Structure 1
């Protein structure tokens, strides 16, 4: 079960097809998977090109004597400690015995293994008795050599002939267009269905509309239906392989709860002094992750701009490892800027040879205000540093913070 996705991918018959836009990823933010245009299923050729391994549908047709080895080759081969060879053999036997499409592929396999390969097309049909609800059909989707009366739902077209004894098949599939086409062509039946349900209700003498129509099984794609809600419940279950950037929706909900706790803590915990009021706005970075800008009003007893009072609430130094190990662990991982500058000219904050945030900062023995009224926080050269990417980040790289806030929320909270 830990490798169920690998086994599922191992027996896929098609791959994901789309025009993927990689220009949006510049290496400075979480990876974004951006698709331009339409998504489709891609099958490709029946046989692999010279020098390449078979994959997807090719594994059901080409070199089936080595099918186990060919399937496991994409996941580390026989040396893999994740994939069980015996289980792969059992899955192959299961599909060969019970999957109608795999049985149809045997015909293509036998033809490809013949001495003289004939010209042929493959047509895939929906399997009789399959557990599907309202499978859309269309003349634009249809494509194998026998016709057993099934309704086609996928068409393999374009038979250009053979090149070097290999046959090429191209796939075109547009599911959304087929759904709309299906609904448009079935309007007569749909209208008849609803009118017949209304007539049956009236003929029974029902006075309410609760019994109009008949029982309908809703697919998982029907928004708000029981199968739809169940699938979303499964999506909400935790998976150890996912990161925060994989589920921005969950991150946003958790962040909303944390912002409420943060505002309540400003009022009740008084990490900045006597609280009077607050205003905040949530923003989302270009990759979708949120952050909050907060403006806090304090009572006059806590709002004096004296440098000594600022040192009580704002720090720009790493805590001492010997006296405050827990504080050092939080601050060194959440409140450090960099490395940037000469050690890392490709950092997001860099514009040319300089840091836009003016790091590293100058050392100051005490907090003071410049002529413009801007505070320069105390940054003593205490010898405490945080090793990061081969660079010793000391107090000159610390982002100003409030220790109580950072220790409470274990997060990056810049206080100015």
Structure 2
């Protein structure tokens, strides 16, 4: 969970001029409130299932923005059992703008990297001519685990695209998110 310097709550309380990193007090307060809400969602509302254990640590990035690493152990009844279960929790597709306008806007703003690769060979993620995050991914009709046990998420070629600057992004560019 990472602090975003463009969170509405931060922008509304900053006077013109100073960067969010100049107001560590405000950043820390807003981050803590949002982290508390996430913790409530996970451990009281059980949005991902019942947890039997968890641990987390808060760190600060170079620019002073906090982020949280969290390990959650789910009750055996709520653990992911198959690839279809992953699709109910994780999405890597552009949502329908008419049905989910807020999610569509959020995915467009936060869940599309780059561009990189041949579209932008000087992107910070590029190493030896390739994206270090392996974007652009391949289209895939179903989620399945690869040989290392990591999921290869469903990314259907459904024709939905989103304009990001002067580029068109499709499902191959979507960072996994939990709707």
Q: Give the TM-score normalised by the residue count of structure 2.
A: 0.84
- 1:384 & 1:248 partners in 2: Cα distance? 40
Relative contact order (alpha carbons < 8 A, sep ≥ 6): 1 or 2 greater? 2
Residue 79 of structure 2, aligned match among 290, 303, 306: 303
Contact 2:108 2:164 in 1 (8 A): no
1:240 aligns with 2:11: no
Structure with the bigger percentage of helix: 1
After TM superposition, the structure 1 stretch with the greater mean CA deviation from structure 2, 270-279 or 284-293, is 270-279
Residue 316 of structure 1, aligned match among 70, 74, 92: 92
Deviations 1:249-307 (A, max 9, x none): 42123212221221111123322222333221222222221222211111111103300
Q: State the Cα distance separating 1:241 from its structure 2 match.
A: 3.2
Deviations 1:156-213 (A, max 9, x none): xxxxxxxxxxxxxxxxxxxxxxxxxxxxxxxxxxxxxxxxxxxxxxxxxxxxxxxxxx
1:398 aligns with 2:171: no
Larger Rg: 1
RMSD of aligned C-alpha atoms?
Answer: 1.9
Contact 1:379 1:395 in 2 (8 A): yes
Q: State the Cα distance separating 1:238 from its structure 2 match.
A: 4.0
2:150 matched residue in structure 1 = 374
Q: State the Cα distance separating 1:308 from its structure 2 match.
A: 1.0
Contact 1:314 1:402 in 2 (8 A): yes
Residue 255 of structure 1, aligned match among 31, 35, 55: 31
- 2:108 & 2:92 partners in 1: Cα distance? 11
Classify 1:253/1:297 alpha carbon distance in 2 versus 1 (closer, same or farther; 3 Å): same
- 1:293 & 1:238 partners in 2: Cα distance? 27
- Gaps of at least 5 residues in structure 2 are 6-12
Q: Give the TM-score normalised by the residue count of structure 1.
A: 0.38
- 1:388 & 1:331 partners in 2: Cα distance? 11
- Count of residue pairs the alignment pairs up: 168
